[in-house]
Each structure stands twice: as structure tokens, then as C-alpha cells.
Structure 1
Amino acid sequence: MILAEKKKHEFPTAFTVLFIILIMAAVLTYIVPSGRFSRLTYDDVAREFVVTDQNNEVKTLPATQSVLDDFKIQLSLSKFEDGTIKKPIAIPGTYVQIKQQPQGILEVIQAPVTGVMDSVDIMIFVLILGGIIGLVNKVGAFDAGMGALSKKTKGKEFILVILVFTLTTLGGTTFGLAEETIAFYPILMPIFLISGFDAITCIAAIYMGSSIGTMFSTVNPFSVVIASNAAGISFTNGLVFRIIILVIGSIITLAYMYWYANKVKKDPKNSFVYEEEESIREHFLKDYNPDVVTEFTVRRKLIMILFSLAFIVLVWGVALNGWWFGEMSALFLGVAIVMMILSGLSEKEAVNTFVAGAADLIGVVLTIGLARAINIVMDNGMISDTLLYYSIDMISGMNGSLFAIAQLGVFSFLGFFIPSSSGLAVLTMPIMAPLADSVGLSRDVVINAYNWGQGLMAFITPTGLILVTLEMAGTTFNKWLKYIMPLMIIMGIYAAVGLILGVYIL
């Protein structure tokens, strides 16, 4: 009798990983006490403060500096009046435990549905993008463009990595480029593959570019600017120091990426996604044949130019005009309509191609909704404020370099439970920043610890974008962990050294 070959163990899909974490988050709501800080919001119409206590009881107070002083909120009234501080501020010293809010089986099952509804704007954007990718592939514009590009980059392939990484890093450090990078993978993955790189290198160039940029933010309004405002200091404080840290951090990351890419180039079996390489190439290069020259016709050139211009307009809209997914979706829908006209396809064929392209990304959009579900369970369980309270209690009394490093650890920890950079900043800074005063440190140290700690956790946190990214790329979380953990350790040490230097410099 011939024994059947033992089935090889496979790492769970992004859906299973997220659902496991969802269950773990629900379990935490039974273990971690529920609690809340009172919160203060400025009503710019009535020009008064609205205070919501732990029982959701609301009272209004005059919008005066003395009210802020009484609450020990060390911020200028002008920060509220000019719209700098818009989100609710946690009031120091008001934390109390409340009745436990455990999230049971029903809540866990409902959370993904609510997560999908909460994330519908991102999902629409991704589906429209999928439709456009389908159209571009159908008319052969990608094949023709990649063929032309591969000839020009022959022998200089790593320049592509440097270029993509640099552009996404600049986007991250200046305007918080993050979710928008979802649009880049279907375009850049085929180019990286035909240039001899594996999928991990493409993910790293895009994801780590935006992650390093947002981690070492210089003028990002959604992190360093709002955190500085919430801490009561100017974001220009320590700007030169942050720029230097960003440049060195980028060089370290590029060096790591070059080391890995070179190792894979010497032997493709060194790739962490070697076993998935065939399926990945089938997905992204299914119609590409390097032996067949696809003519780069005027029609195809026009479609690729239109496609490229859409991303330039997207960056312009997000960076300078406050666009979000509604505007971005409208832009790409308009581009899709123009592409259908230019494609030369019949009306039925063009529409069916668009729908089929959107269908290819259904798995991605469902991942987005499931990731949001984890945050919903933790928010409804009222445990985020408790974790912040315990973290404050843990680092109180520390001083100097130990305080700075402890803050890095605290913000890394909190970054898992509160993935929103602006939300974490407004919640924590009115409480954390004064702790720096008590130990004789500049508040800039706390700002850097917040940026670098949360940014470091973003490398791997499943509640962020990484699992959505991996789903788009067709690989699994364990492969990414193998790649990123050495770099994460390096960057963690680098951030700690930077904070210690900041203690003496800032």
C-alpha cells in the first residue's frame, strides 16, 4: 500500500489571520477593564466647549483659556478657534473604569458587516481601480508598455526600486501617503516581476516607502503636525533633526532591500515567495509573453498616458486639496469611461471587461472590511482608553533616555489598537506631552516617540494596510514577517538611538 504524501502545512489566508485577531480582540474585552477618559470638543458654531463624560453625559462650557487651564489641557484656545484641533481631546486625570463592555459571538459576527459598511468608500475606490486594470490589460497597453520599459531598464533594474521607494517615502513624510498606495500594486507588480524582482521586493518598495515616510514624518499634517498642535508646540520644532533621521532611515531601508534583491537575483530560491512565484506571475503576467512583441500603438500610448496622469492628479488632489476616497473614486471612474471610449472595444465588451477587473479585487475589499472589524470590536469594548491609562501609569516616574525609549514602546503598543495616526495623536498628546515637562525633556521627544513607535508597528500590524497589501500581491503574512522582522529590529534600534540623541539635542 502506498501511503499518501503528507499534505504540506500552509499558512492561513489574510481572512483567517484577521478573523483570529478579531476573536482575540473580543477576548480582550472580557479581560481588560472597560474605561474612558472624559473628552472635550470645540463647537465652532456656538463657540463653546462640549464635554462628554464617561457616562456620555454632555455639558457645555464657555470657550475660554481658563477652562482649558482648569482641565490641565496645556493648549492655547487659538488652536481650537482656528480649526487646528478638531477631534475630541482626552482630558487628563479623568479616566474611570466603567461597566464592562464584553463583545460576544453576536458582536464578533456583526463587526465584519459593520466594518464593510464603514469602509465602503475605500472599497469602491479599489473596485473601480480593478476595473481600470482590466481595461488596460484587455487592450494590451500594459504588455506594450512593460516591453518598452524592460529594454530601457536592462542592467539598471534597482533604479526602479530606488525611484518607487523615494517617491512613496516623500509622499508619506509630506502628506501621509498610505491607503492611496493600494492603487500602485496592480501597476507596479508586473513591472517589478519582468525586471527580475520578486513580489516581496515590489511590496517593500511601495509599502515600506510610505511606511518609512510616515514613520519619520517631517511635515505630515495627519501625524507630526496634528501631534505637535495637540502637544502645544510648533511642528517646526526639531524639523531639521527629523529630516536627518528620515534620510538615514531611508538609506538603511534601501540597503536592506538591495541586499535581499541581490540575494534573490543570484538564486531565485532565496526568495521568500519562491513557492508562490508561479501563481503570482500567472496572476500579474498571465497575458505577457516576452517573446511576443506587442506594438506600442498610439491607442495604447494614449491609454497609458491617461492612466499615468490619473495618479499625478490623485497625488495633487490628496496633497493639496484634501481629497479622500470619494474624490479619488470619481477621478478613476471618469478615467475608466474615457478609457472605454479610447479602447476600441464594443460597449458590451468594455463594460464586461471593467466588471471582470473589479471582480478580481473582491477578496481585497473584503479584507479591508474585516480589518476594520477588529477596530470596531475594540472600540465597542471600551478598552483603548484603559490601555492608554495603564501605559501612562507604567512610564510615570521614569526620566531621561529611559523615558524616551519607554515612550517608543508605549506608542508601538498603542499603535496596534489605535491605527489612526491623527486619532492616536489627539487622544494621547494632551496627556503624554506634559509628562516630558515633568522629567525635564523637550516635548519634541514625545512627538518623535509617537511618530516612530506607531510607524514601527505599522510594518506588521494586521489592523493596518499590510494584510490588504499582501492579499493584492497574492502572498501570505508569514512570508512578509520573514522579510520584514530583521529590518523591523534594525529600525527599532535605530529609532531608540535617535530618541536618545534627541534627549540631548532637542
Structure 2
Amino acid sequence: MQAQPEKKRHRFKMPSAFTILFIIIIIIAILSWFIPAGKYSTDSSGNLIANTYHTVKSNPQGLWDVVMSPVYGMVGDKNTDGAISVSLFILVIGGFLGVVNKTKALDAGISSIVNRYKGRKKVLIPILMTLFALGGSTYGMAEETVAFYPLLIPVMMACGFDSIVAVALALVGTSVGNMASTVNPFATGVASQTLGISPGDGLVSRIIFFVIVDVIAIAFVMRYATKIQKDPTKSYVYAQREEDWKSFNIDERTNDVEPMTGRQKDVIWLFMAAFVIMIIGLVPWSSLNKHFTFFDTATTWLENIPVLGTLLGHDIAPLGTWYFSEITMLFLVMSVVVMWVYHMKEDVFIDAFMGGMADFVSVAMIVAVARGLQVVMNNGLITATILHAGETGLTHVSQSLFIILTFLFYVPMSFLIPSTSGLAAATIGIMGPLGHFAHVSGSLVITAYQAAEGWVGLVTPTSGVVMAALAISHVNLTTWWKWSLRLMLYLFIATVVFLAILAAI
């Protein structure tokens, strides 16, 4: 009897964020045929006025509206602002990162720190985790960490730790950084632009949250590292330690660290300066203190200097009033400055910049597709109806309870749409106004969204970064879940308490 060929098992594969968003757009278009249409009255600033909802004639969305929604999501239409400004910024910052990565300055910087503190072992943990957290908080560092694992694993194992500690430095570091994104353009930037507020709104509270979650994560990892340093058998991957030692060439690779060049150090300084300037430019200084007018006065003074003022140009936006156009210009200029300081050839610079932009095209486009969801809802006249349902339900809900529910809402949504910018563009337009009805600021809603997205991003199998890190380090996903369970619980409790306190203040 001839043996039957074994049937191949088709494993379920999570669809891409693009597919998920298109499915949601289609569902929303169908719902526009059944959900009553309605509108709210608005004030002079365009903000919705509570208790002014009224029904209007329905405008169900059809196939043409669905396929046109991503286009209008990018360029805008009569009912919805387009995402072109934030998409362009994403492309330009991608080009900037491409140029910086071409210099290998970030890789060399991490290598230099590892080499300098190799003899002091545990000191490396808070230093490196904070650096990775800053990367996650400022520019959404995630995929870039994959290049560091082959370097971190040998060093951490040579220090008496294990591969889990190495993974935690970068993966946990960037995840808590993303939880407390301060000026992350792909999270804070997209969400703020959706609500029409400055990315600098709520910055102080996000910095405080950053310190809290970073300290919790560092303490957790250091406690584990100390425990297995004293007793290696306590390691979650102790059974494969000898195999890993040979596989990662520990003895050879821990001594193979190239020092930073002078030009790479200059690039590191420029890299940090770019984000510092961006932060200063975005913080609404006059809103924080109406008497602080230094940047406005300085800008006016420069413009009025004969000849120099003409050379500089007119209508210069003072620091503290910047938005996406200005920070896009900043990273474009800083890319050129990096090229000049590093003595990079013009053709190499163009290739690096365009290559960096190419890496972020999908991110820029997903913002437009996600904004298309809002286009269909607005044009179908069901946005106000959904908000009205939320307004009615939130009548007796406290501010603290609302923000906690918002955080819990974003936990499954972060799993469903594993795209920071896509999730923001698709949902913040609804959650922000709901927060307004509950007397919760839009910036706090953004903080709740970011906290959930970063928290889920630490363990979700839908994240390519998580799966790549575990594959490189030979750590099983279930092993990672067991190790990170208590850390996830600590971060969850800290987040809920922090959000509740902020909402109540």
C-alpha cells in the first residue's frame, strides 16, 4: 500500500497592519448604512461642544468612498485633515536615521560603552537600558536594536549573566521608552497631529512617567542578573548555557570591539543635539509660563538685525511654536550637517538618505490608510453618533476611571494593530474627543495609548522585533513570557496608578 503524502499544516499568519486597517475601513463603511448620522456644534476653535448632538440626514459610504479614503487620508478633504505633514516628517526622519546609521556611529557608541564598563559588569545594565529607553522615547527605536544583540549577548554572558539579560537590555529598554514616549514622532507626533495639539503638550508628565518605568525595569533586570550571577542555575536558560557559549563564540567576540573614531563622536553629538532642539522647539513655553518670552524676543531681535535678518529670512518660527513643518526642516538640515561633519561623499549621502526614507515608506503610508478610517467615519456622519454614545456612557464616569479604561482599550488594540503610527491615526481621533467629554486632556489620552502600545510590544508575538530578538538569542517565546510576567505586572500597576493620579489632579 502506497504511503500517502503528509498534508502540510497551514499555520495562521497575522495579517499586516494595512490589511487590518482596510478591513476596519470596510466595516465602518458598512456601519454607516445602519448607524444614525449626527453632528455636534463646535466653538470658534473647532472643539466639539458637549450636549449639542443632533441627528442629520444619513450619508452611507460606498465602494468609491472606501477606495478613496486612503487618498483623502493623505491629502485631506472637507471633513478631515490630511496626514501629509506627518507622513513627510516620517520620511525625512527616516532619511536622517539612514545617514546616521551609515556612519556606524550608534553601533560604535554602544560598543564603546560596553568596552569601557566591561570590568564593572552590573553598571552596564542601567547605562545601556537607559540609553535604549531614550532611543525608544525620542524616536521610537525598535527594529534598530536587532543589530545589537550579537554584540550584547557575548558581553553579558562573559559578565556572568545570560542571554535573557542581553535581550532585556535592548528589548525591555526600548519598550519602556516607547511606553513613556516623550517626543516619539511615530507615536506622540502622529497622535498629537490627529488631535491638533502640540507634541510638547504633556511632555513634563511623560518625562516623569519615563523615569518611573525605566527605574522599575532596571531594578527588575538587575535583580535577576544579580541572582544568576550568584547562582547560574537560577537562569531561565541555564540548560543551554554551554551550547550558547560555544554558539556565540564568547571568548573571541568579547575582545573584538573597535574604538569610536573622532568623526563618529561628532555624529553622536549631532544626533543628540537634533532631538534636544526638537524637544525645545516643540515645548509650548508660553503656555507653561506666560512670562517666558525669551525665544520669541530672540527671534524678533535676529530678524531685525540689518543684513543678517534678511539673510536669515522672514517669519521664522520661534522655538516653542514649532510643529511638523519646522521639525521636518530640522532633521533635513541636520542630515546635511552630519554629511558635512563626517566628510561623507554626496552620492553616498543621497543613497543613505533615500535608503533611510525607503525603510519608512510603509510607516508613512500606514498613517494615510489609518487616517482613511477617520475619513469614512466623518464623511459617513457617524463619528458624532459614536462620540455621543460615549458621551452618554461617560456622564457618571470619573476622570481616573476613564483614563484607566482608555489604557485597557488600547491593550488589545495594540495587539490587533501592531503599528504605533497606524494605531494612533486610526483611534486617537475618537478617543481624544471622548476624553474631552470626560474632562480628560488629549495629551493624557495619548499617554495612555503610548503606555499600552509599549507594554504590549514587550511580549507580543505579532512584533517582528520581539521574535527577531528571541530568535537571535535562542530564547523560547514561552520562556520569555515566564521571565517577563512579573515585570509586566509591575509596569501595569505603575501605569494604572500613574494615569489615575494624573487624571485626578
Q: 1:327 and 1:388, CA in 2 relative to 1: closer, same or farther beyond 3 A?
A: same
Kindly indicate whether the alpha-carbon contact (under 8 Å) linking 1:404 and 1:499 is maintained by their aligned counterparts in 2: no
- Cα separation, 2, equivalents of 1:147 and 1:243: 27
Q: Which residue of 2 aligns with 1:204?
A: 175
- Cα separation, 1, equivalents of 2:6 and 2:83: 48
Q: 1:92 and 1:102, CA in 2 relative to 1: closer, same or farther beyond 3 A?
A: same
- Cα separation, 2, equivalents of 1:191 and 1:368: 28
Summarize the alignment of residues 375-386 of structure 1 with structure 2, pairs less than 5 Å apart. Answer: 375-386=374-385
The aligned amino acid for 1:208 is M
**Per-residue deviation at 1:107?**
1.6
Q: Which residue of 1 aligns with 2:53?
A: 95
1:21 is the counterpart of 2:18:
no
The aligned amino acid for 1:131 is G
The aligned amino acid for 1:328 is I
Summarize the alignment of residues 391-406 of structure 1 with structure 2, pairs less than 5 Å apart. Answer: 391-396=390-395, 398=396, 403=398
1:3 is the counterpart of 2:2:
no
- Cα separation, 1, equivalents of 2:430 and 2:394: 17
Deviations 1:305-339 (A, max 9, x none): 22222222222222252322222221222222223
Deviations 1:405-458 (A, max 9, x none): 66447756998899799977985577545xxxxxxxxxxxx66xx776664344
Q: Which residue of 1 aligns with 2:386?
A: 387
Q: Which residue of 2 aligns with 1:314?
A: 278
Structure 1 unaligned residues grouped into runs of 5+: 42-86, 170-176, 228-234, 270-288, 434-445
Q: TM-score, normalised by structure 1?
A: 0.59
Q: What is the number of equivalent residue pairs in this alignment?
A: 391
**Per-residue deviation at 1:88?**
1.9
The aligned amino acid for 2:270 is L
Q: Secondary structure at 1:294's aligned position in 2?
A: coil
Kindly indicate whether the alpha-carbon contact (under 8 Å) linking 1:136 and 1:303 is maintained by their aligned counterparts in 2: yes
Deviations 1:59-104 (A, max 9, x none): xxxxxxxxxxxxxxxxxxxxxxxxxxxx323334321111223222
Deviations 1:375-431 (A, max 9, x none): 2222222223222222332344x4xxx655664477569988997999779855775
Which of 439, 442, 456 is the aligned partner of 2:448?
A: 456
1:332 is the counterpart of 2:328:
no
Q: Secondary structure at 1:40's aligned position in 2?
A: coil
The aligned amino acid for 2:70 is P
**Per-residue deviation at 1:208?**
0.5
Q: 1:141 and 1:501, CA in 2 relative to 1: closer, same or farther beyond 3 A?
A: closer
**Per-residue deviation at 1:473?**
4.7
**Per-residue deviation at 1:167?**
5.6
- Cα separation, 2, equivalents of 1:37 and 1:263: 59
**Per-residue deviation at 1:35?**
1.1
Deviations 1:201-249 (A, max 9, x none): 2441221122899xxx9xxx999xx99xxxxxxx9xxx99x99999777
**Per-residue deviation at 1:159?**
0.9
- Cα separation, 1, equivalents of 2:209 and 2:103: 45
- Cα separation, 1, equivalents of 2:431 and 2:13: 38
Q: Secondary structure at 2:388's aligned position in 1?
A: helix
Kindly indicate whether the alpha-carbon contact (under 8 Å) linking 2:132 and 2:173 is maintained by their aligned counterparts in 1: no
Q: Which residue of 2 aligns with 1:144?
A: 108
The aligned amino acid for 1:40 is D
The aligned amino acid for 1:146 is I
- Cα separation, 1, equivalents of 2:132 and 2:101: 25
- Cα separation, 2, equivalents of 1:475 and 1:366: 24
Kindly indicate whether the alpha-carbon contact (under 8 Å) linking 2:448 and 2:499 is maintained by their aligned counterparts in 1: no
- Cα separation, 1, equivalents of 2:449 and 2:93: 28
- Cα separation, 1, equivalents of 2:436 and 2:356: 46
The aligned amino acid for 1:349 is V
- Cα separation, 2, equivalents of 1:262 and 1:111: 54
Q: 1:336 and 1:458, CA in 2 relative to 1: closer, same or farther beyond 3 A?
A: closer
Q: Secondary structure at 1:323's aligned position in 2?
A: coil
- Cα separation, 1, equivalents of 2:485 and 2:371: 24
Q: Which residue of 1 aligns with 2:293?
A: none
The aligned amino acid for 1:204 is S
Kindly indicate whether the alpha-carbon contact (under 8 Å) linking 2:29 and 2:61 is maintained by their aligned counterparts in 1: yes
The aligned amino acid for 1:138 is K
Q: Secondary structure at 2:181's aligned position in 1?
A: helix
Q: Pairwise CA RMSD of aligned residues?
A: 5.3
- Cα separation, 1, equivalents of 2:207 and 2:348: 50
Kindly indicate whether the alpha-carbon contact (under 8 Å) linking 2:40 and 2:48 is maintained by their aligned counterparts in 1: yes
Q: TM-score, normalised by structure 2?
A: 0.59
Q: Secondary structure at 1:357's aligned position in 2?
A: helix
Kindly indicate whether the alpha-carbon contact (under 8 Å) linking 1:38 and 1:95 is maintained by their aligned counterparts in 2: yes
- Cα separation, 1, equivalents of 2:149 and 2:380: 43
Q: Which residue of 2 aligns with 1:130?
A: 94
- Cα separation, 2, equivalents of 1:497 and 1:352: 47
Which of 112, 116, 127 is the aligned partner of 2:74?
A: 116
- Cα separation, 1, equivalents of 2:134 and 2:341: 29
Structure 2 unaligned residues grouped into runs of 5+: 76-81, 153-165, 230-234, 239-252, 284-318, 414-422, 469-476
1:40 is the counterpart of 2:43:
yes
Q: 1:145 and 1:186, CA in 2 relative to 1: closer, same or farther beyond 3 A?
A: farther
- Cα separation, 1, equivalents of 2:94 and 2:183: 27
- Cα separation, 2, equivalents of 1:334 and 1:291: 38
- Cα separation, 1, equivalents of 2:193 and 2:488: 23
